[in-house]
Amino acid sequence: MDLLVFFRTLRRRWVLLLVLTVAGAALGVASGALDSSGGSTGRASKATTTLVLDTGTTAGGQSGGFQSLDQLAIFVTTGDVPVAVARQLGSAASGPQLAQRIVTTTNPSTSTLAITAVATGPDEAVALADAFA
């Protein structure tokens, strides 16, 4: 298709193009207005705390209590830790409910464990990530 055919097609279909452009703009404006109103889809905040695992031995020559970073990541989100976090924060949510808002990421090459918390506000997300750490 050469350029002349393209412009002829545009000239014949200009009404359709105009209607679709106006409809798209209206949908964009409506979507932006609904999103900024803070309805039920409010914005979430994330905070990450990174822990570095000491892979060396202790003064007594014994290694630490964890075999791997993955094992440590499991302990962070299960068992007694979430219950203790809920108690420490005085949260109305239970420990397992708080643990569902936590994502752990391990990096064996740097011996780090990143604990990311998702909450409704930035201060709440920081407090949650720090408490699980």
Q: What is the pLDDT of residue 21?
A: 92
Mean pLDDT for the chain overall: 82
Q: How many residues belong to the chain?
A: 133
**pLDDT category, 10, cuts 50, 70, 90?**
confident
The residues spanned by each domain of the chain are: 3-36, 45-56+64-132
| pTM check: above 0.75 | no
Q: Measured at the alpha carbon of residue 105, what is the angle toward residues 84 and 125, in degrees to the nearest 5?
A: 50
CA distances from 100 to 30, 76, 132 (A): 32, 11, 12
pLDDT value at residue 45: 86
**CA–CA separation, 76 and 111 (whole Å):** 16
- Whole-angstrom distance, CA of residue 122 vs CA of residue 33: 23
